[in-house]
Every structure is written in C-alpha cells, then in structure tokens.
Structure 1
Amino acid sequence: MTTTETRQLRPGRIDRIGNRLVNALMRLGVSVADSRELAVRGRTSGEWRTTPVNLLTVDGERYLVAPRGHVQWVRNLLAAGGGELRLGRRTETFTATELADDAKPALLRVYLRRWAWEVGRFFENVDADSPDERIREIAPGMPVFRIDRG
C-alpha cells in the first residue's frame, strides 16, 4: 500500500468545534451545505457512532466521500454495509457500496467544486481543476461510497 491509501488525517481543534456546531444544527433539522449526521454501527462494539458528512448527489445518485481517508467511519461502514443518515427527526436507512478507484475522479471533482472551502486541505494539492491523472493518483486514499435507500 502507498501512503495515500493508508493516510488518516485527524480533525484538529477547529474541525472538532465546527463538527459540534454542524451536529447541533443537524439535530435541529438544519442542513449546512447538504450535511447529514452519518450513523454507523461500530465494527467491534456494535454501538452507534456518528459523524457529520456531506451528501453528494450527482445525476440522481447519492454518494459519501471520506476526504480524510480511511478513517473509523469508513472502516465501520465497510463492515456494516450501511447505516443511517440523520437530519433532525428524519432518519434514512441506507446500504453502501464502495466505488472502484477508476470511478472516483469525476465524483471527486464535483465534491471539490462544492466543498473545497471546507475539505480542500485534505486533497493533497488537488483541486477541482486538476488534471484527471492527478485526481486518479489520490483516489485510493479517498474512499467513495454510493448509497441506496435501505
């Protein structure tokens, strides 16, 4: 494995504060830039784990992108095969399918166009206008899941 495939970027202090604020708004039913609270059962504990995510919709299909790499929610989602997206009192159960690296560049480009202001620093000097070859280089370190209503 390359370092790109195994990298994990931990949230800093500002990220944790921002996540708490976004989570509080989502629990009130307010989505910030298509944010949702992702809930996934822990692969070891079986307990629900939550984190804010950006719900990407492209051509009617919905996706979750892990800009920080192969973090705990990604590992839990792979083990569980699905989870819940929450916004206020609404809970949607879904199943998840991880995409192959070849399928990621166009989606990562759209993701960056929408949320570079929030997550661009995690994309290793790649932006929405980077060449496809450069986006393909980072694709193994950016898990992307297609989600379907469960």
Structure 2
Amino acid sequence: MTTVTTPPGNAVTARLQERTEPMSGASHHDPAEGSVLMRLFYRDWHPTRLGRWFNRFQGWWSGLGLPPSVMAALEVNGRASGKRRSQVLAIARVEGERYLVSMLGHQSEWVKNVEAAHGDAVIRHGRRRRVHLAVVPPEERAPILREYVRIARSGRRHFPVAVGASLSEFAAIAERYPVYRIDPA
C-alpha cells in the first residue's frame, strides 16, 4: 500500500489520493477509481457506504418504473441473510435478447447472490417479473459487453476499454465481467 504525505488536517484529501492494491484478489484496479468523484461511490471493486445508499435510492426509483427502459431493479435473495436484495442495473439488448452485466466483476454482491440462488431472481421496472438468469460463457460476451458500455453511462467507467472499442478488445476482458441472459422463469 502506498501512502501519500499530506499536511495535517487534510485526511480527506489523503484518503481520496491513496492508491491500494486490490483487496478483492483482482489483478487490476477498477478504472472508475481514477476519478475522485467515482471513488466516493466505489473502492476496490465494491460500493462505499454512499454508493450503497445511492443504489438503494435508485432501486426504489426503478421499481416505480420511472427511469428509462434500459434501467431496472434486480431483486434476489441474499445468500447469507435470505433477505431480498435489490440492485439497479442496466439491461443490454443484443439480437433480441436481454442481458445483465456486472460492472464490478465477479466480486459484486449481486453476482454472488444470483449464483447462490441458481439464477432465480425478479426484475422490477414498474411491475415485478420472475426471471431466470443464465450465465453467458466468456467467449460469447464481447458483443454484449460492447453494448453495455455503450448504454451504461456510469457503468462504462469500470471498463478498461473505450465506448467504440473493437470486439476483440472486449473479448480480451470478457472473463473479468460476468454476463447473464434474462430468461422468463
């Protein structure tokens, strides 16, 4: 861990400038952490307290059906608590299919919960729909990741590729980002 020397009384600045090795075992840093503003919401591939609060607010808002159709709330039972957990996600549409992408990779809590629930979940956008989330193999993820980066304005900051990147660039990072096809339950 590298620490930054700052004048006394400037602890907030020091914390925002501090760079750490990924705690989650990832071999790379979250590209979104390059922005001071985004570091208020995400650290080491996990949401901060402020990020969790904002996600809860977005979940409530999405559940009402107010945001664009590309946004929806995913509800899945927590793997440890059994309580229903809600997360707002962007839905990528490719060749008539709908997909969810984890912008935080395999460390995302919603990914762990979906895996524990064997893909059983609920999508909310105005009304609740029971769905089954099927894992998309890494070799099929590139076009889905490219569409996700195009539509997910805040989510794209977590990807080390540009919006207009080639499919081969997305294929190179596909293993890092879980993708699920949304099927009716």
TM-score range, shorter chain: 0.7 to 0.9
Alignment correspondent of 2:125 = 87
Cα RMSD after superposing both structures: 2.2
Cα pair 1:40 1:84 within 8 Å, conserved: yes
Code of the residue aligned with 1:146 in structure 2: it is R
TM-score normalised by L of structure 2: 0.69
Residue correspondence of structure 1 range 62-141 to structure 2 within 5 A? 62-70=98-106, 71-80=108-117, 81-88=119-126, 90-115=127-152, 117-124=153-160, 126-141=161-176
Aligned counterpart in structure 2 of residue 10 of structure 1, from 43, 46, 56:
46
Cα pair 2:56 2:86 within 8 Å, conserved: no
For residue 45 of structure 1, report the CA deviation from its aligned partner.
Answer: 2.3
Identity %: 32
Partners of 1:133 and 1:35 lie apart in 2 by 27
Residue correspondence of structure 1 range 38-57 to structure 2 within 5 A? 38-57=74-93
**Partner of 1:55: helix, strand, or coil?**
strand
Alignment correspondent of 1:149 = 184
Note closer, same or farther for the CA distance 1:45–1:129 as it changes in structure 2 (3 Å cut): same
Alignment correspondent of 1:35 = 71
Larger-Rg structure: 2
Aligned residues: 144
**Partner of 2:122: helix, strand, or coil?**
strand
For residue 12 of structure 1, report the CA deviation from its aligned partner.
Answer: 4.4
For residue 130 of structure 1, report the CA deviation from its aligned partner.
Answer: 1.8
Q: Which has the higher contact order (CA 8 A, sep 6+)?
A: 1
TM-score normalised by L of structure 1: 0.83
The answer for unaligned runs of 5 or more in structure 1 is none
Cα pair 1:109 1:127 within 8 Å, conserved: no
Partners of 1:104 and 1:18 lie apart in 2 by 28
Partners of 1:128 and 1:33 lie apart in 2 by 20
For residue 93 of structure 1, report the CA deviation from its aligned partner.
Answer: 0.3
The answer for unaligned runs of 5 or more in structure 2 is 1-24, 29-43
